[in-house]
Amino acid sequence: MEITRFLMGNGLFSSLFLLLTPLVFVVVFFFTKKYSRSAKNLPPGPPPWPIIGNLHQIGESPQVSMAIFAQQHGPLISLHLGTQLLVVASSPEAAAGILKTQDRFLSSRAIPNAYDHAYSSFYFIWSTNCGEHWKSLRTLCRNDMFSVKALQAQSRLRQEKLDQMLGFLRGKKNQVVNIGDVVFTTMFNTMSQVIFAKDFLGYGDEHGTVGGLKWKLSTLLKYVTRPNISDFYPIFRRFDLQGLRKENFKNTQEVYSFWEGMVEERRAKMKSSKMVIEEEEEKLFLDRTDTTSSTIEWTMAELLKNKEAMSKVRQELKYNTNSNITHEFEFSKLPYLNACIKETLRLHPPAPFLIPRRAVETCEVMNYTIPQNTQIFINVWAIARDPRVWEDPLSYKPERFLGLNLDFKGQDFEYIPFGAGRRMCPGLPSGIKSVQSILASLIHEFDWVLPNDEDPSKLDMKEKFGMNNGRDSPNIVMEITHFLMGNGLFSSLFLLLTPLVVVVFFIIKKYSGSAKNLPPGPPPWPIIGNIHQIGESPQVSMAMFAQQYGPLISLHLGTQLLVVASSPEAAIGILKSHDHLLSCRSIPDAIDHGLAPFFFVWSTDCGQHWKSLRTLSRNEMFSVKALQAQSGLRHKKVDQMLGFLHGKKGQVVNIGDLVFTTTFNTLSNVFFGKDFLDFGDEHGIAGGLKEKLNTLLAYGVRPNISDFFPIFKRWDLQGLRKRHMKGMREVFSIWEHLIDERRAKYSSSMTVVEDKDKSFLDRLLESGFTNDQINICAIDLFIAGTDTTSSTVEWAMAELLKNKEAMNKLQEELKHKSDSNMITESHLSKFPYLNACIKETLRLHPPAPLLIPRHASETCEVMNYTIPQNTKIFVNVWTIGRDPKIWEDPLSFKPERFLGSSLDFKGQDFEFIPFGAGRRMCPGTQYGIKSVQSILASLIHQFDWVLPNDDDPTKLDMNEKFGVTLQREKPLQLIVKDSK
């Protein structure tokens, strides 16, 4: 999705951009250029915008956006937040590269500018380097607070605090309790007793007994994630434009005033300075209490939702304790409780990115350069939800940890909720002890239900991003909007823009529906909606949104409402239950010109013209009889392909081009009775036909202002409609003479074409179609039928090359079950493994990942949400095919899963709909499958295939490139060899 090109295109938006440009250049560019590093060999990542870099792509759940980027760009990515370079690791290998191999260079902290005030040199957690001060604090804590001895000594105190908590809860029976608050108070008081021998918080008091201490502490925490211009543009650090440093300093002093007297008393007894004691304690309070209480809150929520797990914990507690009221559990005898805690820490790591690190020196990780001063995140959240690392990663399954050696002690990099390396959380043993004892007591002593008899299986599990990944904790949201509206340079730019924005907003507001009860989705930005969040692989971004918001989501692309279905149930709601209201096509504005009423694939409604095309093609092209009649032709075209390959032995062949030529010529013979392409000629014999078709295809996905803001439709601001029309006419000129010749023959009434020799063109002429109607039908069928088929064969070949065992099985099947050297269509039914390989390819790489967009002709309800009239609708077949809730080990190529299974792509099984379903389902399904079968079987049966330069096939790049069809990013080039 070329957002930049869209914004730079013609029209209103570009006018805004042009207006901004001089300002941007003069005011910001010259200041920031000095600081923006042009380091080489950085990890890949989404292209940064000028000045703001990737800031606009981070969104409210950075861990989700960064997981999306990692899917697209790999496990180590780089982003530019303003001029600050950020590197994010999202796989166990990348995490080990940072936290183990390069730990000594990368264990500095990136301290938020708001914390970088007079006290900063005394920090522990935020200590920018691992110098003397940090070392002495770490030793002190290890010995006096978190050592086995210290923990044993604190056990009575923990028990006392636990009893207080339980006492409070007993008095609250049948009333609503905020679990997070209660646990926070317990933890906080335990800590304050360890340090000051004093409680600071009371259970009944919302803000804490000591005049809002709790509230003030959570305010301090907010500064970590509060977007700050000085963090993104270090050039502005000294000005503290948003005043955050000043505010934070003031708040810190206020917090200190709570315990200053006590510190003074004890200062004489300790060697450390006053500031050291205070800073250390404040941070420990924040870190320990918030992480622990969030873990307990999440575990309670998960156990409430997962009834079976809850009753297993209860059973275990019951059988391992002697009395009803004792809470002195032996935690080593509670494996299931421990597994639940581990599973919670996997799914809801309190610090989803750990605590940001900074590179003290330039170094290399995974062969990429990490320049000095780069900020470093480890996306622990993404690693823990990676289906390549975890089976069925989104489900809460404590059982996965039972009998497993995997631990959070910083050795197993697929599971590092406490971090690893020298900056690993020192409070791990104490934190886990607190979680264990509080959780066990809460579950053992009480039953818990949701208020108003709410169904626990529907408990809202949405996360809010913050320093600690809390459940909907209201204070710690990533306030990007706040940042943009804050003080400083950005707000000046915004103010300059405002009058213009208001004018545009009022014009388009008229057009934006204010429909109620829409499916949930990420909050749209003013004017642009969610355009900036779609990225280059929309099917991936939409899958991530579905994880957050559910199987039916809504997005705003400008003023165009888009609804995306990402589960079999949501697909049924659209393609089956409401097929009659949702089967119009949403046609891109670039192709919505004078010829649009003649489209087949893009026919906006299911009216007379579409019906007659559907009937004609079903009878004359796709019926069993027609398919049988075409079998000789298919055989001939495959033979020509094999002949070409025999002449190419030992040379590199582009598989996509090869299959495209074969399928195109087969279809052009069915339609016109003639070949159009030549195997040897890259661009096709008929004057670059292939290239021209590809260009036309690209218009379907080209970002177009008129699609996002239909108000601009009439002006065709980017000139795309005009260009598409011109391109179509050029293609028509290649074959129009054939139509004219044929028509002339018919009108001379001299020629009688025998029924068996009639092409599809004859049928269309007989039915009275005009030239333009025939031209459009031909283009539609070529586009729908060739790229889809050839991309399926290309992906299948790539998967088979990568999965040697599957390739061997297929070769064996073809060898033993075909009675001759040549594969013919009569053999095809004897190849169950071939068919399973094709199905598995279509599951993992559906050629139309979002189907072809539909459009609501009337307002209707799907899954209890409203789909307003004119909504555009996608069905994310790509996500459904990779959903771990539906498919075991979904990312692996395992054709075996289809053997003996009745699951088919005929539009009845909604977990597998690569050809769609309902009345707009692909009419060419059997035609396409027959072509894929015969081409793939012949390629594998007749030849051996290897990668050029002896490249290792297990390392074959499988990246996808989004377009109208889902192609391989790198075309598959293989050397063809004689079959052994």
Other Cβ atoms less than 10 A from the Cβ of 180: the count is 20
- C-beta of 626 vs 886, nearer to ligand HEM: 626
**Sites for ligand HEM among residues 650-679 (CB under 6 A):** 667
User: What part of residues 127-156 is at the interface with ligand HEM (CB under 6 A)?
Assistant: none
Q: How far apart are CA 699 and CA 595, in angstroms?
A: 15
Site for ligand HEM contains 881 (CB under 6 A): no
The structure tokens listed for 655 are 């598989």
Q: Is 872 helix (H, G, I), strand (E, B) or coil?
A: strand
Among 90, 107, 718, 792, binds ligand HEM (CB under 6 A): 792
Among the residue ranges 212-220, 378-386, 856-864, 913-921, the one whose residues contact ligand HEM (CB under 6 A): 913-921
Between strands 865-867 and 860-862, the pairing is: antiparallel
Which one of the spans 221-229, 473-481, 786-794, 952-960 is the region binding ligand HEM (CB under 6 A)?
Answer: 786-794
Q: Which is nearer to ligand HEM, 470 or 914 (CB)?
A: 914
Residues 609-628 binding ligand HEM (CB under 6 A) are 614
Comparing CB distances to ligand HEM, the nearer of 122 and 622 is 622
Cβ of residue 606: shortest distance to ligand HEM, in angstroms?
8
Is the Cβ–Cβ distance between 435 and 341 less than 8 Å?
yes
Judge residue 552's burial from the number of C-beta atoms within 10 Å of its C-beta, 0-12 exposed, 13-18 middle, 19 or more buried.
buried
- Closest approach of ligand HEM to the CB of residue 117, in Å: 58
Minimum CB distance to ligand HEM smaller for 575 or for 806:
575
Bridge partners (DSSP) listed for residue 967: 961
List 779, 800, 851, 856, residue binding ligand HEM (CB under 6 A): 851
Q: Considering only the stretches 345-353, 684-692, 816-824, 908-916, report the one whose residues sit in contact with ligand HEM under the rule CB under 6 A.
A: 908-916
788 binds ligand HEM (CB under 6 A): yes
- Report the nearest approach of ligand HEM to the CB of residue 622 (Å): 7
- Spatial distance between the Cα atoms of 31 and 489, rounded to a whole number of angstroms: 12
* 569-588 positions binding ligand HEM, by CB under 6 A: none
Q: How far is the CB of 576 from ligand HEM (least distance, A)?
A: 11
| Residue 784 interacts with ligand HEM (CB under 6 A): yes or no | yes
User: Taking the CA atoms of the chain, what radius of gyration do you get in angstroms?
Assistant: 32
Task: Give me the least distance between CB of 862 and ligand HEM, in Å please.
Answer: 15
Nearer to ligand HEM, 267 or 763 (CB): 763
Rounded-to-integer distance, Cα 487 and Cα 544, Å:
32
Closest by Cα among 292, 216, 307, 315 to 257: 216
HSE (side-chain half, CA atoms, 13 Å) at 281: 25
Nearer to ligand HEM by C-beta: 558 or 914? 914
| The one among 914, 936, 941, 975 contacting ligand HEM by CB under 6 A | 914
Looking at residue 889, the DSSP 8-state letter turns out to be S
- Decide the pairing of beta strands 560-565 and 552-557: antiparallel
**Structure tokens belonging to residue 316:** 């275990």
How far is the C-alpha of 764 from the C-alpha of 126, rounded, in Å?
Answer: 74
Nearest to 182 by CA among 428, 574, 445, 505: 445
Binding pattern for the stretch 831-850 against ligand HEM, x by CB under 6 A and - elsewhere: ----------------xx--
Smallest separation (angstroms) from ligand HEM to the CB of 658: 16
Q: Which of 717, 922, 972, 976 binds ligand HEM (CB under 6 A)?
A: 922
437 binds ligand HEM (CB under 6 A): no
Q: Is 622 left (phi over 0), alpha (psi -120 to 50) or beta?
A: alpha
Question: How far is 571 from 550, CA to CA, in rounded Å?
Answer: 13
**606 assigned binding-site residue:** no
Binders of ligand HEM among residues 165 to 204 (CB under 6 A) are none
Angle at alpha carbon of residue 293, lines to 287 and 297, rounded to 5°: 145
What residues does 555 pair with on adjacent strands? Answer: 562
- Helices marked H in 36-131: 62-73, 92-96
Q: H helices of 145-228, where?
A: 148-153, 155-170, 179-196, 213-225
Work out the burial of residue 197: count CB atoms within 10 Å of its CB; fewer than 13 is exposed, 13-18 middle, 19 or more buried: exposed
| Bridge-based pairing state of the strands 84-89 and 375-378 | parallel
Nearer to ligand HEM, 337 or 836 (CB): 836
Residue with tokens 């409780």: 337
Q: Is 927 in the site for ligand HEM (CB under 6 A)?
A: yes
Nearest-CA neighbor of 843 among 792, 802, 801, 809? 792
Query: Among residues 59, 356, 519, 923, which is the contact residue for ligand HEM, using CB under 6 A?
Result: 923
Smallest gap, in angstroms, from Cβ of residue 926 to ligand HEM? 9
How many of the chain's residues bind ligand HEM (CB under 6 A)?
A: 26
- Closest contact distance (angstroms) between CB of 792 and ligand HEM is 4
Q: Of the candidates 921, 966, 972, 974, which one interacts with ligand HEM according to CB under 6 A?
A: 921
852 binds ligand HEM (CB under 6 A): yes
Q: Do 341 and 368 form a contact (C-beta atoms < 8 A)?
A: no
Task: Report yes or no: 284 and 325 within 8 Å, Cβ to Cβ.
Answer: no
Query: Which residue, 58 or 565, has its beta carbon nearer to ligand HEM?
Result: 565
Residues within window 762-781 making contact with ligand HEM, judged by CB under 6 A: 780-781
What angle do helix axes 771-802 and 720-748 make, rounded to 10 degrees? Answer: 110
**Closest separation in Å from C-beta 613 to ligand HEM:** 8
Among 69, 146, 413, 600, binds ligand HEM (CB under 6 A): 600
Between helix 274-305 and helix 132-144 the angle, nearest 10°, is: 60
522 near ligand HEM, rule: CB under 6 A: no
Residues that bind ligand HEM (CB under 6 A): 600-601, 614, 667, 780-781, 784-785, 788-789, 792, 847-848, 851-852, 914-916, 920-924, 927-928, 932
Annotated binding site for heme: 922
Q: Which residues are annotated as a binding site?
A: 922
